[in-house]
Structure 1
Amino acid sequence: MKYTLNILLLILTLVSCKKENEKIVTEKPKPNQIVLISVNAPNKYIHLIKQDSVGKKLKDSLGPKAFYNNNGFTYLDYMNNIQTWRPKANVSDTITIETYNDYLELSTNNFFTSIKETFLVQNGDTVIFNYEHNIPKAKITNREVNDIELNYNSYRLKKLFDNKYTSHYLIFGNMFLNENFKDYKQKSLEYYNQAKLDFTEEIKLLDSLKNNNLISKTNYFYRKDALNMLMEKHKKLKNIKKWLEQNKSLRNKETIEQVFGFDLSETDSLMKFSFFRDYLINISEYDLEFIEENNGNSGGFYIDSRIRFDSIVKDKRFNQTAKNFLLFNAYNGIGQNFRVKDKKEYFKKLQESTTSIEQLDKLKKEYKLDFSKSNELVMTSMKNDTLTYRNLLENNKGKWLYIDFWASWCKPCRKTMPESNKLKKEFNEGNIEFIYLSLNDKKENWKKAIEVDGISNSQNYFIENGNVSQVIEDLRVKTIPHYLIYSPNGELVNGFANRPGQGAKEQLKKLITGQ
């Protein structure tokens, strides 16, 4: 059974409606703006992976933690470009958003629920965000709004899940909680079946809220659609998808999985909703098989975004608004998982296929997509002098080189720095240089990290074109930290050298002494 929804028509209808006890007032011109005020946003959004309650204090729990360093509020601007506002930490911060729609959706990550924390606000609203346990709570100052409606995500988490992990989160998240990883797939199927029951209960809750006028019809349908889309995302997980296919023939008509969808002719009015954008991504992955990659200590699964990109261009279901969004989404997959030649080829295709010039410029600037120097690895020093990787090797010829690819945001990289400093002291009298190359970093953070980690007396360079450099590809630097050892004659003798404190000392001694 396929559901369709024309939210735009519903919203336009409901905006003109009044409750019986409200006075009818003359319609005023729309201010065409929404003001957001964030009060004391956290510097880091830390969530404890093994804690059992949202309200638990950090000091009360040990174990692995999830960090959202750059969490913020994502929305679709009036030019149909996705924007994210990241409030300044520990102060009051304000932004004014220009809008010409009746409603604007603001979304942010919530680690506990597997569904985004979303707020549906109206044109002309002033919204203040305070934070409870790193999760924002909204208040509108210019009109009365039921708190359940405005902060529905927090309400459902308490009402249905007692502020504990939801079944929706545990479908995937149980791998962090379960010490026996072998049980992950079976556990995820159990949580999926529980999530279906919780879905039914939440629909009943929404029905009750609507019937008791605690939530508007607009919000009611909005929340139902978000919930339906969440269930569709569960079905895309590899082991759940396989299980559903295996059991399809055993199911009767009453228990068969329903298919949820939207009327794509309403794309322009629905694009403002994150769950609709998720739906577009879902149907534009075309059931492509996952590519499995193993890089020794790391790896991953991803689909062939090149095939996806070409398919989106040809797909007549999608209008230009949808294609603008989906093509950038597909290109991100190409940028993360494919070679420089693919990035170059598909960036040209993106330029030819999109009408979103602003997003194109933003992408090019953010990822430094200048392919004119792809045959070089361009770097700058602390003094802002420019050189290439080839220059670096030539300048240090005659010495052993231990090269460390790292970044200020990379925790494993930073964790090894004390051992790296210790290693340098042990080889202080030797003919060896320790060189640190920062990859996919921000200069300001890079410079601070150099001082904090005590490596300022070494050779430090900032890589300017890591995303488009053939050199990075040829060196097979796919993850960081990554270490290389060069001999005095400039030969790469180990492209996957050991980490400091984990065999690097023995490795270097053996190479230098020849024993």
Structure 2
Amino acid sequence: MKSELTIYFFLLITLLFSCKEEPNKIEPKIKKPNIIVLISINAPAKYTHLIKQDSIGKTLKDSLGPKAFYIKNGFTYLDYMNNEQTWLPKPNVRDTIVIECYSEYLEFTTNNFFTSIHDTFLVKNGDTVVFNYNYNIPKAEITNRKVNNEELNYNSYRHKKLFSNKYTSHHLIFANLFIDNDIKNYEQNSIDYFNKAKNDFIRETQLLDSLLKSKSITETNYNYRKDALNMLMEKHKKLKNIKKWLEQNKSLRDKETIEQLFGFDLAKTDSLMKFSFFRDYLNNISKYDLEFIEENNGNSGGFYIDSRIRFDSILKDRRFNQVAKNYLLFNAYDGIGQNFRIKDKEKYFKKLQENTTNREQLDKLQKDYKLDFSKSDKLILTDLKNDTITFSNVLKNNKGKWLYVDFWASWCKPCRETMPESNKLKKELKNENIEFIYLALNDRKENWQKAIKTDSLSNSHNYFIENGNVSKVVEDLGIKTIPHYLIYNPNGELINGFANRPGEGAKEQLRKLLTEK
């Protein structure tokens, strides 16, 4: 009996210890994959498209005529911090990126010359997606699961099925000016294409219904594509001439044909933010029908709304939660940064700091655009040796000489096209008391340095502007577009703030000043 009790006691002790240690032996649960892998194979180096090439793959006899181009055409997505990111695949090689994903689906968008809607790819968490290119248009393939082509590459499918790979009616609403070359009838043509787009909307809705019925696409993708299509039609109705036409003809339509407004449930903002069509929707409803401001800067100009009013209105708008406000306030500030004065940039950057919870994007904005307002009264430059100097000191160092100052950038096509004439002008005036100063505005240093070598500017006075976005000096000089040229006399005084371009009167202008000294 004693022996049996001893054995029983031993077994009990063993069982107790084994039970105590068992939790440490439990294998942790395998979490759902939280990455998406994108692979690009031989992305094009350039995305150039001839406007008159109205069909994918059409062969032209020459390359004359107006061109449309994307300098870089990557894949845009919303990261886990709700920041828009764009991946630019390296050209002509196999390139890969791994993206963290914490939602079931993630959308990737890229530009398409033939439509007014982005090519979009809706992929699942854990997917590996391979992109190949045909006529500069990416086609996706998922390697880890089977997905119908109609679903994954829906944009290319609908483009071929409904529009025979030609310009869509949606695109022609605003692009007919360039394609039809009929400036006089542009507005009426836009209305005609809008009416065609309404019929194409019905055709595409029927196409989506048939794809869902045949189970060629999932219900998730069906709803996603329908929402994107509805949003596209809403964008058309916001165009100034279309909106005016709809209002004028409203009384002539019966109840069955009255234009229906499309909208989203803003209570679902957090889950919808990853979709570009929803972000477009937020942008549209947050512009509050503000009138356009027209700006004319001689050979260039533009139209824009007052983003300061928009910014303040977004702050007060109770429809938007903090996620929406984070996105929209940065969007509105971008408009302020592009079109308004330094005092407005500074004022609204402080407001942005106070009203956003997205510190990562705030830091990135400040870093990318060098938003240091403490030195706004100076124009800070660096030379090719990376030594720092101010523009006022450049003027002092060259006192006693005439100065011809060229504001340019490596990305500015007319700036670069003028450089041969500028070099020619320097040679012709090399024996005169004049210096040529080149200031790179809103550029990237590596591109600036390459352009200096390419354009034979290495022996000139080259400077990179470090604080162009916040410098009151640039603002006070009236430099809104580039190229822009200034002439200073030997006393360091600005005598011409809008000098002629090289090859377009600069030589005569400078010769006259030099002979009058």
The verdict on a shared fold, with TM-score over 0.5 as the criterion, is: yes
- What is the aligned partner in structure 2 of residue 338 from structure 1? 340
CA distance in 1, matches of 2:194, 2:492: 55
CA distance in 2, matches of 1:484, 1:147: 57
- What is the aligned partner in structure 2 of residue 179 from structure 1? 181
1:133 to 107, 132, 135: 135
- What is the aligned partner in structure 2 of residue 500 from structure 1? 502
More divergent stretch after superposition (78-87 vs 308-317): 78-87
- Report Cα offsets for 1:258-295 as digits up to 9, x if no partner: 10000000000111100000000010001111111111
- Report Cα offsets for 1:370-425 as digits up to 9, x if no partner: 11110000000011111111011111111111111110011111011111111111
- What is the aligned partner in structure 2 of residue 105 from structure 1? 107
1:55 to 57, 69, 91: 57
- What is the aligned partner in structure 2 of residue 387 from structure 1? 389
* 2:270 is equivalent to residue 268 of structure 1: yes
1:436 to 424, 435, 438: 438
- Report Cα offsets for 1:477-505 as digits up to 9, x if no partner: 00111111111111211111111111111
SS of the aligned residue for 1:300 comes to strand
* Aligned CA-pair RMSD: 1.4
- Report Cα offsets for 1:450-471 as digits up to 9, x if no partner: 0001111111100000000000
CA distance in 2, matches of 1:469, 1:59: 48
More divergent stretch after superposition (351-360 vs 185-194): 185-194
Say if 1:51 and 1:61, in contact at 8 Å, map to a contact too.
no
The offset of 1:37, in angstroms, is: 0.7
The offset of 1:304, in angstroms, is: 0.5
- What is the aligned partner in structure 1 of residue 72 from structure 2? 70
CA distance in 2, matches of 1:79, 1:243: 41
CA distance in 2, matches of 1:466, 1:445: 16
CA distance in 2, matches of 1:68, 1:478: 23
CA distance in 2, matches of 1:89, 1:401: 41
SS of the aligned residue for 1:423 comes to helix
1:421 to 418, 423, 434: 423
- What is the aligned partner in structure 1 of residue 7 from structure 2? none
Q: In structure 2, do the counterparts of structure 1 residues 481 and 90 end up closer, same or farther at CA, with 3 Å as the change threshold? A: same
The offset of 1:361, in angstroms, is: 0.8
Matched letter for residue 468 of structure 1: V
The offset of 1:70, in angstroms, is: 2.2
1:287 to 286, 289, 299: 289
1:367 to 369, 384, 388: 369
Say if 1:110 and 1:135, in contact at 8 Å, map to a contact too.
yes
The offset of 1:118, in angstroms, is: 0.3
CA distance in 1, matches of 2:266, 2:330: 19
- What is the aligned partner in structure 2 of residue 218 from structure 1? 220
Say if 2:53 and 2:60, in contact at 8 Å, map to a contact too.
no
Q: In structure 2, do the counterparts of structure 1 residues 403 and 108 end up closer, same or farther at CA, with 3 Å as the change threshold? A: same
Matched letter for residue 488 of structure 1: P
**Structure 1, unaligned stretches of length 5 or more?**
1-26
2:92 to 77, 90, 93: 90
- What is the aligned partner in structure 2 of residue 4 from structure 1? none
2:279 to 254, 277, 280: 277
The offset of 1:62, in angstroms, is: 2.3
CA distance in 2, matches of 1:48, 1:228: 29
- Report Cα offsets for 1:52-76 as digits up to 9, x if no partner: 2121357754222222122211111
Say if 2:379 and 2:473, in contact at 8 Å, map to a contact too.
yes
SS of the aligned residue for 2:335 comes to helix
SS of the aligned residue for 2:467 comes to coil
CA distance in 1, matches of 2:183, 2:117: 24
SS of the aligned residue for 2:69 comes to strand
The offset of 1:29, in angstroms, is: 4.1
TM-score, normalised to structure 2, is: 0.92
Say if 1:48 and 1:58, in contact at 8 Å, map to a contact too.
no
Q: Which has the higher contact order (CA 8 A, sep 6+)?
A: 1
- What is the aligned partner in structure 1 of residue 413 from structure 2? 411
- Report Cα offsets for 1:164-191 as digits up to 9, x if no partner: 1111111111122233422222211111
- What is the aligned partner in structure 2 of residue 207 from structure 1? 209
Matched letter for residue 503 of structure 1: G
- What is the aligned partner in structure 2 of residue 188 from structure 1? 190
TM-score, normalised to structure 1, is: 0.93
**Structure 2, unaligned stretches of length 5 or more?**
1-28
2:452 to 431, 450, 453: 450
More divergent stretch after superposition (263-272 vs 58-67): 58-67
Question: What is the aligned residue count?
Answer: 489
More divergent stretch after superposition (119-128 vs 159-168): 159-168
More divergent stretch after superposition (167-176 vs 54-63): 54-63
Matched letter for residue 179 of structure 2: L
CA distance in 2, matches of 1:177, 1:430: 49
Say if 2:406 and 2:486, in contact at 8 Å, map to a contact too.
yes
1:254 to 238, 242, 256: 256
More divergent stretch after superposition (63-72 vs 257-266): 63-72
* 2:513 is equivalent to residue 511 of structure 1: yes
* 2:469 is equivalent to residue 467 of structure 1: yes
SS of the aligned residue for 1:279 comes to helix
Matched letter for residue 414 of structure 1: R
Q: In structure 2, do the counterparts of structure 1 residues 28 and 153 end up closer, same or farther at CA, with 3 Å as the change threshold? A: farther
SS of the aligned residue for 1:330 comes to helix
